[in-house]
Amino acid sequence: MLAIGVALPAARAQAPAASGSPTIDAIRARGQLVCGTVLDLPGFAMVNARSEYTGMYVDFCRAVAAAVLGDATKVRFVPSTYANRLTMLQSGEIDLLSSNTTWTLPREAALGLLFSGVMFYDGQGFLVSRQLNVSAARQLDGASVCVQPGTTTELNLADYFRSNNMRLQPVVIDSIEQIREALLAGRCDAFTVGTAALSAFRAGLGARGQDFVVLPDLISKEPLGPVVRKGDDRFFDVVRWTLFAMMTAEELGVTSANLEQRLTDANPDVQRLLGRTGEFGRMLGVGNDWAVRIIRQVGSYADLWERNVAPLGLPRGYNRLYTQGGLHYPPPMR
């Protein structure tokens, strides 16, 4: 549960410095961060039965709002699809895209976008019907495979089948709900996307999920992270360091549950993170207590994982900190 609206202790609370960012100025003028995300990815971004947005990607938008506006609730979520998400960001319809979006060279070099870091390390895999009686992706020769358009997933699928001299029958469908119907009706032998999304999709099938299995093969690298437009370096810095602050909090053992006790911690790294020393928040234009607001109202990276992803039964794997054998390695604040 997000602990919204808790008063900030006396330690270095202050009005934010001048932002130097047209995006941040626009966010503050409207009183809301506008965040694009998907609606149908349990554990990452979805709308629950109470019409509330939940998930890791959703919570990250709230963390940015806490940093920029001081209030994690001040987010307007805009539903996006795989087909329109990048153009929504390019056009300025949204300030930030926090979705299942893979960091690639063309998206930065040709589309005028910047990835702020990797929130989730993933790889593309296959969910298949148990009736196929296959245990490896190489056994899918001639299979009909559901895939969403406008994604790296579609390209990876074609490359994999071509490079292995396999016949492919792609069934291109944009909507997850329509893919669910196609898979259950037998129109598709398999569905391909990142393995985290596959696990969430399988969980969403309820009892029918037992009829399908995620194959062990990975056919791609899928580093997923938040995206902003090029041209506003200060907003890019805030989004990037919001992610790093949440990872640093986990590294230092600071959580939303123990934050108040850690505010007086003598550890120099903890003091810098929590704004007790240094002027790091002012450098970002958001006030030195920016990370305190993030952790108190949203949490550390570990808090995000436990609240949203752990219930899916996904192992953290590459998404552990580097100190635990994973790939997450936040740069130092000093």
Strand, helix or coil for residue 127: strand
Torsion angle (degrees, nearest 10) of CA 281, 72, 245, 114? -90
Distances (CA, A) of 102 to 110, 221, 274: 15, 9, 31
Q: What is the mean pLDDT of the chain?
A: 91
What is the bridge-based pairing of β-strands 124-129 and 212-214?
A: antiparallel
Percent of the chain residues topping a pLDDT of 70: 95
| Predicted pLDDT at 6 | 41
pLDDT at 262: 97
- pLDDT mean over 167-174: 93
Reported as a single tens digit per residue, the pLDDT across 260-270 is 999 999 999 99
CA distance 198 to 313: 12
Distance in Å from the first CA to the final CA of the chain: 31
Q: Give 178-234 pLDDT, tens digit per residue.
A: 999 999 999 999 999 988 888 888 888 888 988 999 898 899 999 999 999 999 999
pLDDT(304) > 90: yes
DSSP letter string, 40-93? EETTTEEE-TTS-EESHHHHHHHHHHHHHHS-TT-EEEEE--TTTHHHHHHHTS
Contacts of 318-321 with C-beta under 8 Å, sequence gap 24+, read 318/121, 319/120, 319/121, 321/247, 321/250, 321/251
The rounded distance, in Å, linking the Cα atoms of 244 and 253 is 14
